């Protein structure tokens, strides 16, 4: 996680064992350009592996991965103001940012012919609006995606799944026992999903108008004043502690939090939802400066991310899907992984397909009215 406690932390991060190792301050110290045998990546920490030896063995490349916050403002600062494309071969950021950095000329168009496994990726995945510019230009390669909800202590919840988001936002039985993620990127749209289920006029939770964002913030402020929320969490570790120590019964959180607590012997579960999920995708983008051997190295790395080795590790460790989930299952079988690992991969495939079938909502790191949305989130926090 972040070494700067005042900085906004990643929305999704590595498991606790690797989070500290990937910590980076908000302002990144610019390292030297990678040599010919190393691929240099700036990316959100959730996509990183605790150990890159499998990547290095499969590709013959060295990995130099620099973890950053999941924060659209940081991406723009690093790529535009700090010219990170001069140094890094690949950016791995929240999908949607290409609407700003692709159309702005900082990312180059993806060449599908440069990747052997591109054809194995489902059209519905690679054609996501979170990977393409407004005109359909393919700027991004899918790396990981999932659909987030909340975690809860099983013995304290009598209702049956699937749940409504009202369990988080309007739950009189659990006043002061709810934790929210401290970011507009997920919490505002999740609350908007609930308001939509109550008949409120919101068209797209991930791309709200200023009026819709104000209505959602007004609702959250009302619930905050009613004492609904115990805490806003900022880091993976903080969310694990809040739920694990039973300071809260429900936490809007990331799936790896629940995997960690299950390993710790806690009786928790990750919820299925009626209205929909916070569906997100993290994509890989190539800086416009990359060319020649540097570009070839980047494409070789991207091809590996599309393969079964990486997909299997993500499914087992994080519960996240990759662009080619069947390849992950085939890889696990070929390597005679344990029945538990195989079951985790199969469960992940089924789970993601079920969640993705619901219409709402794909997270949007660059909504049209982002400034108004951010302002409404700050109004809620300060209330």
DSSP line for 57-109: HHHS-EEEEEEE-S-HHHHHIIIIIS-GGGT-SEEEEETTTHHHHTTTTSBPP
Mean pLDDT of 172-201: 96
Instruction: Tell me the CB-side half-sphere exposure of residue 194, using CA atoms within 13 A.
Output: 21
pLDDT at 40: 96
How many whole angstroms separate alpha carbon 341 and alpha carbon 345? 6
Structure pTM? 0.75
pLDDT-derived band at 264 (thresholds 50, 70, 90) equals very high
pLDDT-derived band at 353 (thresholds 50, 70, 90) equals confident
pLDDT-derived band at 375 (thresholds 50, 70, 90) equals very high
Mean pLDDT of 281-286: 95
Q: How far apart, in Å, are the Cα atoms of 76 and each of 79, 194, 338?
A: 5, 31, 42
Percent of the chain with pLDDT over 90: 68
């Amino acid at each position: 996680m972040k070494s700067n406690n005042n900085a906004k932390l990643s929305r999704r991060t590595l498991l606790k064992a690797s989070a500290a190792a990937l910590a980076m301050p908000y302002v990144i110290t610019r390292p030297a350009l990678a040599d010919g045998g190393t691929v240099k990546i700036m990316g959100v920490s959730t996509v990183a592996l605790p150990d890159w030896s499998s990547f290095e063995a499969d590709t013959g490349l060295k990995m130099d991965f620099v973890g950053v916050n999941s924060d659209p403002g940081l991406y723009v600062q690093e790529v535009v103001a700090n010219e990170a494309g001069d140094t890094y071969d690949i950016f791995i950021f929240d999908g949607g940012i290409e609407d700003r950095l692709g159309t702005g000329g900082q990312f180059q168009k993806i060449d599908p012919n440069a990747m052997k496994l591109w054809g194995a990726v489902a059209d519905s995945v690679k054609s996501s609006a979170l990977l393409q510019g407004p005109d359909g230009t393919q700027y991004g390669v899918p790396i990981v995606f999932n659909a987030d909800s909340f975690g809860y202590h099983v013995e304290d919840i009598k209702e049956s799944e699937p749940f409504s988001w009202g369990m988080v936002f309007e739950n009189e039985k659990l006043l002061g026992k709810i934790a929210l993620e401290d970011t507009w990127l997920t919490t505002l749209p999740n609350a908007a999903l609930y308001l939509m289920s109550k008949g409120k006029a919101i068209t797209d939770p991930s791309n709200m108008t200023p009026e819709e964002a104000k209505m959602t913030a007004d609702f959250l402020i009302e619930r905050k004043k009613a004492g609904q929320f115990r805490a806003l969490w900022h880091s993976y570790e903080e969310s694990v502690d809040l739920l694990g120590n039973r300071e809260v019964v429900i936490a809007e959180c990331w799936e790896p939090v629940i995997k960690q607590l299950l390993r710790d012997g806690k009786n928790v579960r990750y919820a299925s939802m009626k209205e929909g999920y916070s569906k997100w995708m993290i994509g890989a983008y190539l800086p416009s400066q990359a060319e020649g051997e540097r570009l070839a190295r980047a494409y070789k790395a991207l091809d590996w991310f599309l393969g079964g080795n990486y997909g299997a590790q993500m499914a087992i460790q994080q519960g996240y899907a990759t662009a080619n989930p069947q390849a992950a299952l085939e890889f696990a079988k070929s390597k005679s992984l344990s029945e538990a690992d195989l079951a985790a991969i199969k469960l992940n495939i089924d789970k993601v397909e079920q969640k993705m079938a619901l219409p709402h909502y794909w997270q949007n790191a660059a909504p049209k009215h982002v400034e108004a949305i951010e302002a409404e989130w700050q109004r809620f926090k300060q209330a």
